[in-house]
Structure 1
Amino acid sequence: MVKWFSLGFWELVARIVLRNKTLMLILVAIVTALLVNQWKNIRFSFTEANLLPADDPTNVEYNAFLQKFGEEGNLIVIGIKDSALFTPKVYGSWSKLMTAIENDKNVDLVVDIHNLKKLTKNDSLRTFELTNFTDAAKSNDTAYLQNLKKQLFKDLPFYEGLLFNKGSGTVRAAVYLDKKIVNTKARKDFVLEKLVPALDEFKKETGIAPKVSGMPYIRTMSTETIKSEMGIFIVSSLLITSLLFFFFFRSVRATLVSMFIVIIGVIWSFGFLGLFNYEITVLTALVPALIIVIGIPNCIFLTNKYHQEFFVHRNKVKALQRVTTKIGAATLMTNVTTAIGFATFITSNNKLLIEFGNVTAVNIIALFFLSLIIIPIFHSYIPSPKERHLRHLERGSVKGFMDWILDTVKHKRISIYLMAIGLLVIALLGMSRMRISGSLIEDMPKKTEFFKDIVFFEKEFDGVMPLEIMVDTKRPKGVLKLSTLNRMEEFEKEINEIPELSKPISVVSLVKYSKQAYYNGNPEYFELPTSQEQSFILSYAKNAAKGGKQNLMKAYVDSTGRYARITAFMRDDNGNRIPEIEKRIKTEAAKLFPKDRFEVTVTGKSLVFQKGTGYLLDNLLSSLLFAFFLTALLVAFMFRSVKMVLVSLIPNMLPLLLTAGIMGFLDIPLKPSTILVFGIAFGLSVDDTLRFLAQYREELKRNNWRIRRSVYATFNDAGLSMFYTSIVLFFGFSVFMLSDFGGTVALGGLVSLTLFCGMLSNLMLLPALVLTLNKSLITEQEMRPAIIDIAEHTDDEIESLPGHKDLG
């Protein structure tokens, strides 16, 4: 009875669509218009992804640090490694550049040699003052500039590692943006419309290209790259899928219909992004191209079935009706499993992945209904397929390949199993070599100039990724006690012994500079004051700390004097060693800072990202297991067979394990981008499995439970569509390898590889398993028939529906 209800439902759907074609098209147009109206809400993300939940302890500690010391991501650095800087022409252009930046309303502060301040003693006021290090009136004097360079490197050790590299002669400026604009469109406008043109003008005047980095600049340039790549992905996906579709079906009209469907799907995808009020990130930027790649298989299955039906009885109306009636349910279920593959990201408890999973899953289901409406309607308006359009059903080259696979399944199943076991062993060996990446910049576009500049600053200044340490003295003004400063100095010496970290910067350096200033700038006195000196030197420093813009300590000590900040920088390639570094820092802190009097916290963007990667790995593995569970539940529901569940999962798990093994052998680390591969590939690959098994079950009934004949009939009917869709998905995901982002390249390449292996597994291993386990599978299915039948239905079944008649 349920079977007839299922058949009757899809019969009803076919009738509604084909008898109300104009109304259906009007509804599609209305939905499209409504979603286009949501485009006004589309915006690009201006922040980098935080992979940890808001209530995670690491996030809580990081936010506590930001509350006390402010946003750490508001710094842009501009550097030059060229001795010509200290010549009148270049120095003049440099000062002009920095003055223009300094005067911009979006800039809080510029620290550079042209406006560099040195700490000097004012005995009458018993305080320190910031006085000019350079004399602008002498900037045209070559001898003065050369002497200035010597003084900078010799007399100001406080700025070493901050503004210059004494060994290489590299000099840089620090531009601090207004923290209010860091995560807004104003940041992008400043970088692209003011900073970049100013840098280009400097290069034009001097012939020297400045190096630029810092999170505001990196984020802005990354966003611009994402924008440009979105267009490339969409155009490339359309081009490659349309060419493949035409190659398979040799029909311009059918190809144009399919392209129309996926273009509407792309329009809808942008509309859903606006409707959900989601920002475009490095992940959601992939959704429009994904919709093209994932949408084409629907068009292939429906078009191929239409051609198969028309080939049999040459009746276009009957063929169009039976496309929906026969495979509507099966196509819906395969789209549901694909959507499940993406929807499992919702369980990750990560905002970035939840949004990606939501919008992709919704688009996949919407695209299914769009295909189910548009394909029958458009084909009803255009002429019937000609003979050349149907030749693909018997094409020699493809047919020869499929015949070879079928022959292997028939006669060499042991070889298939041995090959599968061998690949499994290789995969497990490769998996043992896998590693997790904690790199912040590993996925960034390596061909771009801004990435090369990141590498430059990493080399010249021992890294650009900040690692922050916050010392809580548990009492107001506890930081400036000499005993605390001495502990911090010892602590910094230990940190300096960690080879992965740069020289730490803190209030200790400032107090040392205060003593140097007290002794008239003599660099030999760059050290902490003695107990005899502390009262008058620290009183000078405290008076200077009351000077508003001249508050020298606010970057390193909070307003209460209770919390101190120690900043070290780390090369990004040491991201994997952050857990070891954190453990060593905490061990040294425990020795120097008694827990009853101090609390030391290790935080910073590098640490948050690395822990976020580990968290994401744990959650996405859980999500993948959840996807396995949902798929198993779906198969058990459809087939009422535990063994059928195993048969459905094995051919899809092997390609995933093989991909993981290849990642290990090729040293492709587990990171946010590559972790996504497994969920996406599983959701797409399992479609073919379900389609094959569902049709196999129907063929069993159609062939009086004759096993071999049923398997071969299933292969001959469904195998071609499985091959077509897998090839389209393979080349479609390969489009993402055009990206400059390493993560997107890895995502595209690995998903393509996994889907190709999944195709072979579903065409060879799956039918082999069914043949091997056939008797027990048949017994289970005969004893416990499926609640819902999603396979193709026979002509006799369709004809026997009450009141059935073909549309004419």
Structure 2
Amino acid sequence: MHHKLEKMLGKFGEFIGKHPFIVLLFSLLVIAFPISNIPKITMDTSTEGFLHKEDPMLIKYEAFKEQFGRDERILIAIENEKVFSVEFLTKLKKLHKDLEDNVPYLDEVTSLVNVRNTRGEADQLIVEDLLENFPKTQADADKIKTIAMANEFYKDLLLSHDGKITTIMIETKAFVSDEKENIDDMFSEFDEAPAQDVVKTPLTDTQNAEIVRKVRDIVEKYSDDDFKIYYAGSASVMDALKSMMKEDMQKFTRVTILIILVFLFLIFRRVSATFYPLIVIILSLLTTVGSMAYFGVAFKLPTQIVPSLLIAVSVGATVHVLSIFFDNFNATKDKKGAIAFTLEHSGLAIAMTGLTTAVGIASFAGSEVAPIADMGKFASLGVLISLFLTLTLLPALLMITPMKPKEIKENHWLDNVMRRFAYFPTHHPKSVVVVSLSLVILSIVLATNIKLSHYPLEWFPKDDPNYVGTHYIDDNLNGSLTVEVVVDTKEQNGWQNPKRLQTLDNLNKELAEYDDGKTYIGKVVSLDTIVKESNKALHENNESFYTIPSDQALLSQELLLFENSGSDDLEDVVDSQFSKLRVTVKVPWVDSIESEDMLAHVQKRFEETFKEEEVTVTGIIPILVHTFTQAIRSSVESYIIAFTLIAILMMFIMGNVRLGIISMIPNLSPVIVGLSLMYIYHIPLDMFTLLIGSIAIGLAVDDTIHFMHNFKRYYLRSGDAVVAVENTFFTTGKALVITTIVLSLGFYAYMFGNMESVQNFGFLTGSVIILALIADLLLAPALMVLIAKRGWIK
């Protein structure tokens, strides 16, 4: 079968030699439609973008936003020794108004300027802005300070405990209302058009970026030494993450391509060999991105490794074609014959490498993390597109390009390197296998100590304003993120029950004391806070009445008075029927792994306390934890599926079950040893390093297939394993070395990126590429020599 397939590919090479323009036109027509969709591509770096639309976690989160609004705030912290001076409050008010007037898609801005101040006057409940009567003198400001510092609601929310830091909370709309155009002209004759349908669409990534950038522009105008401003919040952090990731990936993709061009020219000394691989890479990328756009799939943070993956796969395949083609063309001076020989000699191996790489990556398509699943689908499609172009477009371009054969140089430096590499594994195979096995075992032991992590904040440079601001706010105001809990009583006025509300208040006080050494709960805010404020105000502002009233009628009356006071704060914590309640748990931004116990504790305590009610825990922190947990589990499953399917394909390629299984050893080894590098250099297993294995699998398998395929051919001809290894190294081996040099340098360039995750990605990927080459130049030939001695190759 192998022989027949090789002959078929040789015939196809002859067809390309005779009809290059037909093949060229056909190749371009196949990819034209996907590429035409590129303008439709979008980006999505939202936290919920990590979830599939049908994921229960996302469904709950969307329901929460529908009821209570967006929980992703932008926090601005302002430091001043005299927060309650007339001068400071005047500037704060000006900034507050500037934000209200100019930030798009705004829902609410909350600061000391307009935070509620609940007080009683005679029998009246008055809920007004804290600075309703703006201070004119310092004495007025001091009175406001006394009120603010005594208010429990303000602490760690709008004021630090020492009163030297205040915050502004910017809440934006979760949904944007669009009016549908009425396309029916039948009403045009009437004076009044019919009411138009209103469609609520979620706030987009682009709109969030518009919000964040406007806030930063406004804040920048007010920041000075006496008005030190820090900002944080998941909306701001994720936008900055997207911008930096996009900048890094674009910059280093260009650097990688430049390195590829330079080295290909140095190796082949031909313009065609330099730029034609680039054409294949670019067209493969464009076709993949266009396909994503056609199916409405946005670029997300993990899917940004797709360009790097396609570059790696495309370069490897094209270098093999070019290396075999030019060796034959220089020797025979027959271009048509060289095309046919190249496809017959290496076409099957290239096709198999593309297929195995696509299968390995496609195993991620079933991931429960949406962008990882997208990567599995579209990166595997991109690999197949690259394979198609390598076997059609590239030979056709070579055929129509005028070129002259070059003189073959004896003792080329690369031939000498290959000769030396071939000696050791063929003459000391047992030593190579023993050392390799020992290294793999040691790496497995070390890999068990790798730290799991999903901490996007730590990907930033340590001087980034988002990094500095988040830690500043976490340290001084007990948290910058929230966990949201919804408790549904399933009954009208269920939260106008004094006993249930008192139970909630007791639980909230308990949770506010939580600290497990990894994270803590800084503050808990809900309906009980409003009720206690109202009860205190209606009892002559007596602090001893800052409690939940035990009388049902009094509780209902207080809630009615608050509702009629003009404040809309009730809408933030309870629905209109008083059946659903929102509890906001304020926490610092720590590693998602370190938040697991806290989240489990919150969920458990609410479910234990409210056994008859429906409890939902949602928000950004639960989504981050859920995403990484699913990513770990799904990736382990995907790698198992990938290795199983690739092993089956290797058995087919080798034509032998035993050889197929043994050939997987050089594929696994680079990945396992790469894990030991993560331990040695204290690199955590996060959302990005988790995906490096997909590139490692693709490259390791590709190199192994090329080596095994050609080794078997030469061994069956000569019957001598040493000769077969040498011949393989002089042909396929040179292409492997060239590919490794080019790609490893390209990925190592990522180490100069701004973000730590990008630096780790570049270092590990470049290192695994080198390890894959070493495995195929030392371990694979050593295994083949030992196998040949046992007579297992028929």
TM-score when normalising by structure 1: 0.87
Specify the code of the residue in structure 2 equivalent to 1:161. Answer: D
Q: Which residue does 1:714 correspond to in 2?
A: 728
Counterparts of 1:395 and 1:512, CA distance in 2: 86
Q: 1:130 aligns with which of 127, 131, 134?
A: 127
**1:7-26 residue pairs with structure 2 within 5 A?**
7-26=6-25
Q: 1:668 aligns with which of 683, 686, 705?
A: 683
Specify the code of the residue in structure 1 equivalent to 2:164. Answer: G
Listed one character per residue, the Cα deviations across residues 761-802 of structure 1 (whole Å, up to 9, x for unaligned) are 1111111111112245x54x53xxxxxxxxxxxxxxxxxxxx
Listed one character per residue, the Cα deviations across residues 144-187 of structure 1 (whole Å, up to 9, x for unaligned) are 4455444422x322111211112362110111112214622662
Specify the code of the residue in structure 1 equivalent to 2:435. Answer: M
Counterparts of 1:298 and 1:624, CA distance in 2: 23
Q: 1:177 aligns with which of 172, 186, 193?
A: 172
Counterparts of 2:368 and 2:162, CA distance in 1: 46
Distance 1:478 1:123, change over 3 A: farther
Q: Which residue does 1:108 correspond to in 2?
A: 107
The total of aligned residue pairs comes to 763
Q: Which residue does 1:799 correspond to in 2?
A: none
1:737 equivalenced with 2:732 (yes/no): no
**1:338-357 residue pairs with structure 2 within 5 A?**
338-357=357-376
SS of match in other structure, 1:660: helix
1:539 equivalenced with 2:557 (yes/no): yes
Specify the code of the residue in structure 1 equivalent to 2:348. Answer: A
- Asked if 2 retains the 8 angstrom alpha-carbon contact of 1:342 and 1:361, the reply is yes
- Asked if 2 retains the 8 angstrom alpha-carbon contact of 1:345 and 1:623, the reply is yes
- Asked if 2 retains the 8 angstrom alpha-carbon contact of 1:511 and 1:538, the reply is no
Q: Which residue does 1:77 correspond to in 2?
A: 75
Q: 2:670 aligns with which of 655, 667, 679?
A: 655
Q: Which residue does 1:759 correspond to in 2?
A: 773
Q: Which residue does 1:801 correspond to in 2?
A: none
- Asked if 1 retains the 8 angstrom alpha-carbon contact of 2:479 and 2:522, the reply is yes
Q: Which residue does 2:641 correspond to in 1?
A: 626
**1:557-576 residue pairs with structure 2 within 5 A?**
557-573=574-590, 575-576=592-593
Shift of 1:49: 4.5
Q: Which residue does 2:162 correspond to in 1?
A: 167
Q: 2:444 aligns with which of 405, 428, 432?
A: 428
**1:382-781 residue pairs with structure 2 within 5 A?**
382-387=402-407, 391=409, 394-396=411-413, 398-439=414-455, 441-444=457-460, 446=462, 448-499=464-515, 500-521=520-541, 524-525=543-544, 527-531=546-550, 535-536=553-554, 538-546=556-564, 550-573=567-590, 575-589=592-606, 592-593=609-610, 595=611, 597-703=612-718, 705-776=719-790, 778-779=791-792, 781=793
Listed one character per residue, the Cα deviations across residues 714-747 of structure 1 (whole Å, up to 9, x for unaligned) are 2332211112212222223334434434433333
Give the gaps of 5 or more residues in structure 2.
177-201
Distance 1:418 1:102, change over 3 A: same
Shift of 1:535: 4.1
Counterparts of 1:752 and 1:683, CA distance in 2: 13
Counterparts of 1:193 and 1:200, CA distance in 2: 11
Identity of aligned residues (%): 21
Shift of 1:445: 5.8
Q: Which residue does 1:220 correspond to in 2?
A: 239
Shift of 1:28: 4.5
- Asked if 2 retains the 8 angstrom alpha-carbon contact of 1:229 and 1:739, the reply is yes
Q: Which residue does 2:94 correspond to in 1?
A: 96
Listed one character per residue, the Cα deviations across residues 58-104 of structure 1 (whole Å, up to 9, x for unaligned) are 5555455445434322x222111223655555543432221122134
1:290 equivalenced with 2:304 (yes/no): no
Distance 1:665 1:352, change over 3 A: same
Q: 1:281 aligns with which of 290, 300, 316?
A: 300
1:203 equivalenced with 2:223 (yes/no): yes
Specify the code of the residue in structure 1 equivalent to 2:244. Answer: T
**1:352-363 residue pairs with structure 2 within 5 A?**
352-363=371-382
Shift of 1:449: 2.1
Distance 1:20 1:528, change over 3 A: same
- Asked if 2 retains the 8 angstrom alpha-carbon contact of 1:699 and 1:714, the reply is yes
- Asked if 2 retains the 8 angstrom alpha-carbon contact of 1:647 and 1:770, the reply is no
Give the gaps of 5 or more residues in structure 1.
783-808
- Asked if 2 retains the 8 angstrom alpha-carbon contact of 1:257 and 1:378, the reply is yes
Counterparts of 2:42 and 2:55, CA distance in 1: 27
Counterparts of 1:687 and 1:580, CA distance in 2: 42
- Asked if 2 retains the 8 angstrom alpha-carbon contact of 1:676 and 1:747, the reply is no
Counterparts of 1:363 and 1:747, CA distance in 2: 20
Q: Which residue does 1:239 correspond to in 2?
A: 258
Shift of 1:109: 1.4
Specify the code of the residue in structure 1 equivalent to 2:733. Answer: G
Counterparts of 1:744 and 1:681, CA distance in 2: 16
Counterparts of 1:735 and 1:273, CA distance in 2: 27
Counterparts of 1:416 and 1:5, CA distance in 2: 35
1:371 equivalenced with 2:390 (yes/no): yes
1:319 equivalenced with 2:333 (yes/no): no
Counterparts of 2:206 and 2:259, CA distance in 1: 38
SS of match in other structure, 2:168: strand
Counterparts of 1:54 and 1:186, CA distance in 2: 19
Shift of 1:528: 0.9
Q: CA RMSD in A?
A: 2.9
Distance 1:592 1:646, change over 3 A: same
Listed one character per residue, the Cα deviations across residues 467-506 of structure 1 (whole Å, up to 9, x for unaligned) are 2233344533232322122212221232122112212112
Specify the code of the residue in structure 2 equivalent to 1:584. Answer: H
- Asked if 2 retains the 8 angstrom alpha-carbon contact of 1:187 and 1:216, the reply is no
- Asked if 2 retains the 8 angstrom alpha-carbon contact of 1:557 and 1:565, the reply is yes
1:152 equivalenced with 2:148 (yes/no): yes
1:264 equivalenced with 2:264 (yes/no): no
Distance 1:552 1:167, change over 3 A: same
Q: Which residue does 1:798 correspond to in 2?
A: none
